[in-house]
C-alpha cells in the first residue's frame, strides 16, 4: 500500500483498518519514519468519513502551525515507512499503543521529488 502526501496540502487518505481493529473505540496513531534520515514523525489524524469499506483521514502537510493531535504535520520530501497503530487513548507515546494495523510506503512529494500521476 502507498500513501501519497502532497506538501502544503490537506491530503485525504482512505485506509481500510477496521478489519484488523481489536479495540471497541480505537484511536489511530500514525508513525512515519524517513527512509534516508530515520527521522520519526508521530501523529493522529482526524477521520472525516467512515464507510463500510474504508475510513478517510485528513493529513495536513504544512511548514508551520503544527498540531500532531490533529494531523497537521511537516514532512520533508522523500520516502517514508508508514506504520498505523490502534490505541485505547490518544497518546503519542508508543508504550500506550496496542496493535499495529498496517505498514505501508509513504511518498511525500515536493520540489525535489515528483511522483508519476499513476501513483497518486
Q: pLDDT, tens digit, for every residue of 85-96?
A: 999 999 999 999
pLDDT at 118 over 60: no
Mean pLDDT of the chain: 90
Contact 66, 73 (CB under 8 A): yes
pTM, full prediction: 0.89
Q: What is the mean pLDDT of residues 62-84?
A: 95
Average pLDDT, stretch 71-79? 95
What is the predicted pLDDT for the residue at 50?
78
Query: pLDDT per residue over 21-41, tens digit each?
Result: 899 889 999 999 999 999 999
Mind listing the domains of the chain with CATH numbers?
2-119 (2.60.40.10)
**pLDDT of the residue at 53:** 83
- Exposed e or buried b per residue across 1-15, where buried means at least 16 C-beta atoms within 10 angstroms of its C-beta: eebebebeeebebeb
**Contact of 61 with 7, CB cutoff 8 Å:** yes
pLDDT beyond 70 at 108: yes
Amino acid at each position: 500500500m502507498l500513501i501519497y502526501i502532497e506538501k502544503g496540502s490537506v491530503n485525504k487518505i482512505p485506509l481500510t483498518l477496521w478489519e484488523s481493529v481489536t479495540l471497541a473505540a480505537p484511536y489511530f496513531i500514525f508513525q512515519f519514519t524517513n527512509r534516508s534520515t530515520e527521522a520519526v514523525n508521530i501523529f493522529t489524524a482526524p477521520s472525516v468519513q467512515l464507510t463500510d469499506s474504508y475510513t478517510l483521514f485528513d493529513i495536513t502537510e504544512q511548514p508551520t502551525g503544527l498540531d500532531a493531535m490533529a494531523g497537521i504535520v511537516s514532512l520533508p520530501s522523500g520516502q517514508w515507512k508508514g506504520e498505523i497503530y490502534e490505541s485505547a487513548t490518544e497518546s503519542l507515546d508508543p508504550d500506550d499503543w496496542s496493535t499495529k494495523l498496517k505498514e505501508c510506503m509513504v511518498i511525500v512529494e515536493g520540489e525535489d521529488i515528483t511522483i508519476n500521476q499513476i501513483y497518486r
